Structure 1
Amino acid sequence: MSLFERRRVLGILAALPLAACGFTPAYAPGGAGMALRGQVRAADPTDSLGFGFVGALEERLGRPTNPRFDLSYSISTSQRGSARVAGVGETRISVIGTVTYELKDRASGATVSSGSVRNFTNYSTTSTQLASLRAREDAERRLMRILADEVATRLIAAQAG
């Protein structure tokens, strides 16, 4: 048996357990990911963290065109030093963020999904305030993208289940 044929046979054998368990890709036609595409309207953001979160969520779930669901959310962040140099102070800061969310059906007002996600990012401080500020803003942007991805994943999983 040639190498190509072996790979093909092994690929088919590896796919069998997924087919047997009823696995369906979330973004396949008719999948849960596509069912939410353009259907979720997040609450209007009130600060830069909210803008980053909603923007990343819309990239993942699409901009709402004729929304069936309303998403309310609450964002909280905190910072703590994660590396210290004697005589210099904190040189690495962790930004920890939590998003609590609730997805409601617009027609019935029933809660479809709710929960909370938490994650963190880091940034390095430098000798200049401006560079440290930009590094913090970048870390917050990355954190909002991570949290939006987690919320979107949970919403898709709730629709599939």
Structure 2
Amino acid sequence: MKRLAIPAAALFLCSCGLQPMYAGGGNGMVARSLADVAVPAIEGQQGWLVRNALIDRLGTAGATGARYRLEVRLDDKLEGLGLLGNDTIARERRTLRARYQLVDAQDGKVLLDATAGSDAGIDVVGSEYATIAAEQTALENLARVVADQIVTKVSLRLRSGGDSASK
């Protein structure tokens, strides 16, 4: 019975129109399009972290003359949440939000205008060093999460055809 279920499921998936995003691996259409996206410098330490994560995921280490440009603006917030009886903060939340646009470098047309973001909770402990290290680690993790979200949306946009505008 199980022998029949697996081929039937495979036939069903093939007929539903699902296609792998990265078909063809590094030579596939999406991978080649992603490698043709330049990421200009982004302001601040969080910008440096996000840009490096984007470059790692896009595969655009030295992209000059790229067809697309990814413009990113970040908003990084660190706020105290829990107050103890002596008015000291017991918990913080770090939020990293990105507003980004995928721009056709040839004609300046905006192909994608979207946002991405994530947040992380941080315990504030007695050691100032440990708290600063936790804040830094949270920022590094958030930069990777935001970069993943951006690359996913850019991949979907480029896969659907990079020529028509979409929001």
**Alignment TM class, shorter chain as reference:** 0.7 to 0.9
Alignment correspondent of 1:13:
8
1:35 to 17, 32, 36: 32
2:59 to 56, 62, 66: 62
Residues of 1 paired with 2:67 and 2:52: CA distance? Answer: 19
Deviation at 1:115, TM superposition (A): 0.7
Quick one: percent identity of the two aligned structures? 22
Alignment correspondent of 1:123:
122
Could you tell which deviates more after superposition, 83-92 or 123-132? Answer: 83-92
3-state SS, counterpart of residue 45 of structure 1: coil
TM-score (norm 1): 0.84
Residues of 2 paired with 1:56 and 1:97: CA distance? Answer: 14
Distance 1:156 1:40, change over 3 A: same
1:12 is matched by which residue type in structure 2? P
TM-score (norm 2): 0.81
1:78–1:95: 8 Å Cα contact kept in structure 2? yes
3-state SS, counterpart of residue 60 of structure 2: coil
Task: For residues 107-136 of structure 1, give each alpha carbon's deviation from its aligned partner in whole angstroms, at most 9, with x where no partner exists.
Answer: 122111111112111222221212111110
1:96 corresponds to 2:95: yes
1:24–1:31: 8 Å Cα contact kept in structure 2? no
1:74–1:100: 8 Å Cα contact kept in structure 2? yes
Could you tell which deviates more after superposition, 33-42 or 46-55? Answer: 33-42
1:43 is matched by which residue type in structure 2? P
Q: CA RMSD in A?
A: 2.1
Q: Which runs of 5+ in 1 are unaligned?
A: none
Count of residue pairs the alignment pairs up: 156
Distance 1:43 1:88, change over 3 A: same
2:34–2:58: 8 Å Cα contact kept in structure 1? yes
Residues of 1 paired with 2:60 and 2:137: CA distance? Answer: 23
1:85–1:91: 8 Å Cα contact kept in structure 2? yes
Deviation at 1:68, TM superposition (A): 1.2
Could you tell which deviates more after superposition, 63-72 or 128-137? Answer: 63-72
Alignment correspondent of 1:23:
18
Residues of 1 paired with 2:28 and 2:19: CA distance? Answer: 7
Residues of 1 paired with 2:88 and 2:9: CA distance? Answer: 52
Q: Which runs of 5+ in 2 are unaligned?
A: 161-167
